[in-house]
Amino acid sequence: MDGAYIIEQAVNAMRGQWREEELAMTYDLTPQDNPMVKGVLKIFGTDFMCFVENEVTKFNVGRIREKIDNCTDLRKLPLLLVARYVQPATYEFLRSSGINFTDTAGNYQIRQMKGKRPLFQISHTGEKEPAPVCKTYPIFYEAGLKIIFYLLQDKDNVNKTFREIKDQCDVSLGTVKNVFDELEARKFILIGGKKRILYNKRRLLDLWVENYNHILKPKLALKRLAFKDTQALSDWTKMTLPDGFYWGGECAAYLHNGFMTPVKFDIYTDVKSAHLLRTGMVLTRDGEITIYHKFWKGSHMPMILIYADLLGSGNSRCIEAANKLLNDELTDFK
């Protein structure tokens, strides 16, 4: 969706909630020196530089803040994040990051300060997401997500034969071809000579993470377990998981860099989870440990999956941990 159109729709949504004499607001869509700025919105005499995104979700809000932080012009100017829709799960993260926002549904949180004194603050939230402009693409269904996951793990995987990819992902040969055709049509795969190139990988990673958490991960959940007592919970790092079991999410991130202490415990496996009972874990309906089916081949926990698990939680602590992994480990996607 065009940036100027999103700004216009967001302004109209805000105006619809105020009487004309109450909200002093104008906008200018003239191209700016900084190409990241798509327009200027003046509210109560203050010019806000408009930074436009299609949708703000708990899966991409960390990346959006990173883009803003890395742009000196955006850091020093009054900034307004304008989107087709800002998901409620991101409101607190945006507020604590000092990022004003508005969307085309009529949700907004805008605060302007003068030193430590607020000049004005306006907010309105609770409006539902606008009707989608397009349907979900089939490449982000279950089989497609497995194939894209395999491609994202190694840049050379895109040039494997369809049969090799089929065997690695446990999908049909026809599904591999259909997903590749769609990725080419959407310019995520480019053809150079006899080689394929995975292109715009960061955007593809964002889409994969969001759809993995919405579509595939819920289907992978097997059962819930709990630590036998508080001491076992405290000493979870001393626990040796049986072969075929892998810590995911917050636990895997902690074991990798010690950045955060986990409160959720994810384990992936493709063997019988009953083996975990030998470690002292207890089967329960509402335990702090969730067992997921391991859907990839290999004997390690992929960094991309740890990143996706962290973003799937939606809380700021995990988003910070995910961004650290992105900056330190997943450098091909920056």
Residue with the two structure tokens 């606008």: 130
Can you tell me the mean pLDDT for 155-170?
95
| pLDDT band (50, 70, 90) for residue 279 | confident
- Reply yes or no on whether the pLDDT at 160 is more than 80: yes
Kind of pairing between the strands at 79-86 and 100-103: parallel
Rounded percentage of the chain residues whose pLDDT exceeds 90: 47
Tokens encoding 118:
């607020």
Count of other CB atoms within 10 angstroms of residue 16? 8
Return the bridge partners of 223, or none: 291
pLDDT at 131: 67
DSSP label at 83? Answer: E
Query: Do 244 and 271 meet the contact criterion of CB atoms below 8 Å apart?
Result: yes
Residue 254 has phi, psi (to 5 degrees) of: -65, -45
Return the bridge partners of 79, or none: 49
Can you tell me the mean pLDDT for 167-171?
94
Rounded CA separation 331/316 (Å): 21
Can you tell me the mean pLDDT for 114-132?
82
- Reply yes or no on whether the pLDDT at 269 is more than 90: yes
pLDDT at 67: 84
Q: How far apart, in Å, are the Cα atoms of 256 and each of 240, 259, 324?
A: 16, 8, 11
Instruction: Of 50-64, 156-170, 173-187, 265-279, give the range with the top mean pLDDT.
Output: 156-170
The DSSP element (H or E) to which 9 belongs, if any, is helix 3-15
pLDDT at 120: 84
| CB < 8 Å & 24+ apart, contacts of 315-320 | 316/92, 316/93, 316/96, 317/260, 318/249, 318/250, 318/260, 319/58, 319/61, 319/62, 319/93, 320/62, 320/259, 320/260
Query: Do 174 and 162 meet the contact criterion of CB atoms below 8 Å apart?
Result: no
Q: How far apart, in Å, are the Cα atoms of 297 and each of 139, 153, 244, 317?
A: 20, 12, 11, 30
Query: Do 323 and 252 meet the contact criterion of CB atoms below 8 Å apart?
Result: no
Rounded mean pLDDT of the chain? 88
The reported pTM is: 0.70
271: left (phi over 0), alpha (psi -120 to 50) or beta: beta
Distance of CA 54 to the CA centre of its chain: 13
pLDDT at 119: 77
Query: Do 55 and 107 meet the contact criterion of CB atoms below 8 Å apart?
Result: no
| pLDDT band (50, 70, 90) for residue 135 | very low
- Reply yes or no on whether the pLDDT at 60 is more than 90: no
Can you tell me the mean pLDDT for 28-45?
87
Tokens encoding 56:
């703000």
- Reply yes or no on whether the pLDDT at 21 is more than 80: no
